Amino acid sequence: MTNSYADVERRLWESADELRANSGLRSWEYSVPVLGLIFLRFADQKFSLAQQQIEGTPTGRRVPGKTDYQARGVVYLPPESRFSTLLNLPEGADIGRATNDAMAAVERENEDLRGVLPRTYTRLPNASLVALLRSLSRIPIEIEGDVFGRIYEYFLGRFAMSEGQRGGEFFTPIALVKLIVEVIEPYHGLIYDPACGSGGMFVQSAGFVQNHQKNPSAEISIYGQEAAAETVRLCRMNLAVHGLSGDIRQGNSYHEDPHNSRGAFDFVMANPPFNVNGVDVMISIGPNFFYTVTLPCTLWFLDRGKRDTEREDTVLFIDARQDFTQIDRAHREFTPEQIEYLANIVRLYRREEIGGHGGDGGRDVGGGCGDVGRDVIYNVSTAETFPDGRYRDVPGLCRVATRAEIAAQNWSLNPGRYVGVAAREADGFVFAERLEELHEELKALNRQARVLEERIAGNVAQLLERT
């Protein structure tokens, strides 16, 4: 995305967050209605473009209708649901009720969106809702739909960050999802996420297919499951704003399987535990990637296709704990170049071509005490790390271990145990980094405590009023 689009995102968020503060609502109460209006703004833009095309196409005596729009993959908007209708309501009108009615009309006219769109706009003060509509109307009408999708994802991430533990229930950081998608390479087939949250894996999988000059709707089929009904709606809105559709069902994947998923899908994103059989790649990720906890994590990749190949008896371990870009004192992410670099290691291990995947990639290795701007020490490209274009073990970065070696380590799948450490000067940053992690975790716990304290005080006040 260009800097101008990044500026649009930032300005929209600052405006929406200021309005939230003035409304007195908590972030989670404000997030769903805002995301719903972003969706409506996107749908209105697509509808306007389709309207111009349809009105310029002769249809004989027949008046163009809903089916003409839906045949073009466009959400049909009746007049009362047009964004301009809401924006131009007279002063003193009940904007909240009008917006609820607009969302209901969209669902009524579009079967795929039944039960998805929010109807909670009467909870917002009229003045805040008017200001929010005006803010979203400033999104340039000429930008493409995928930019609306990125704005939606940007808001999802910011809301998740501000909601703490609750936000982590529906949002996995985009950088991690992109890395997972680059490694599993879902070119074609059935994709399933049994704890799909707001649908990040589906959106990034579609982006992967698009980046390889193919149509996601023709190449992949999307299936998902999520325990919370509200999160299912977020996911379906996220798919719609990216021009995608899928079979997303409510259910707890620990004891429900509405898709009869065993052996039914080509690509699955799921949580461990697994045993070592079938494990193909393990990637260790450093702390501070998630919005709710500072703990590190490990990505597991299983590949049924490795049987009867030279990889059958091996596992690739990658230690990416030193690869990150610091976005603020408490959060990290991967740049596209870092994602490409790590994915290229996997491709070389699998003896795949690394051309045509978006570039050579680069390794920006993090360091310092977490200050913004101090995270990049040096950049190493894939070609520099693997000069002959073939995989090799690199101390401190990657190593291929055999099943016998893993057995000798008591079946440990911790990448650090196999990769070892690269030679580097002792600089004492580990202690400072850990101290900062603990400090940030304490601040997060204090914020949660204050929210709970306010909630308890409010409940007590309500009980006293009733007595």
Instruction: Tell me what pLDDT residue 364 has.
Output: 55
C-alpha triplet 236, 333, 318: angle, nearest 5°: 105
Would you state the pLDDT for residue 373?
A: 30
pLDDT at 368 over 50: no
Residue type, 138: R
Q: Which of 19-28, 140-149, 216-225, 253-262 has the highest mean pLDDT?
A: 216-225
Q: Is pLDDT above 50 for 272?
A: no
d(CA 225, CA 304): 22
Q: Tell me, what's the pLDDT at 274?
A: 44
Kindly indicate the confidence band of residue 241, based on its pLDDT and cuts at 50, 70 and 90. confident
Name, in order, each residue with C-beta under 8 angstroms of 275's C-beta and a sequence gap of 6 or more. Answer: none
19: its two tokens: 């309005």
For 387, phi and psi rounded to 5 degrees? Answer: -60, -30
Q: What is the pTM of this model?
A: 0.73
Count helices and strands in the chain by DSSP H and E runs: 17, 12
The average pLDDT across 177-186 equals 92
What backbone torsions phi and psi does residue 457 show, to the nearest 5 degrees? -60, -40
Is 169-271 the same fold as 3-145?
no
Question: What fold does the segment set 169-271 form as a domain?
Answer: Rossmann fold (3.40.50)
Enumerate the domain spans of the chain.
3-145, 169-271, 274-440
| pLDDT of res. 330 | 77
Name which residue leads in pLDDT, 32 or 84: 84
Rounded to an integer, the average pLDDT of 370-386 is 55
**Mean pLDDT for the stretch of residues 247-271:** 88
Other Cβ atoms less than 10 A from the Cβ of 164: the count is 18
Q: Which long-range contacts (CB under 8 A, 24 or more apart) does 158-163 make?
A: 158/13, 158/17, 159/27, 159/28, 159/31, 159/34, 159/35, 160/291, 161/291, 161/331, 162/17, 162/27, 163/27, 163/28, 163/31
Q: Place 369 in a pLDDT band, splitting at 50, 70 and 90.
A: very low
**Predicted confidence (pLDDT) at residue 48 exceeds the cutoff of 80:** yes
Mutual angle of helices 200-211 and 145-163, in 10-degree steps = 150
CATH superfamily of 3-145: N6 adenine-specific DNA methyltransferase, N-terminal domain (1.20.1260.30)
pLDDT value at residue 53: 87
| Size (the chain), residues | 467
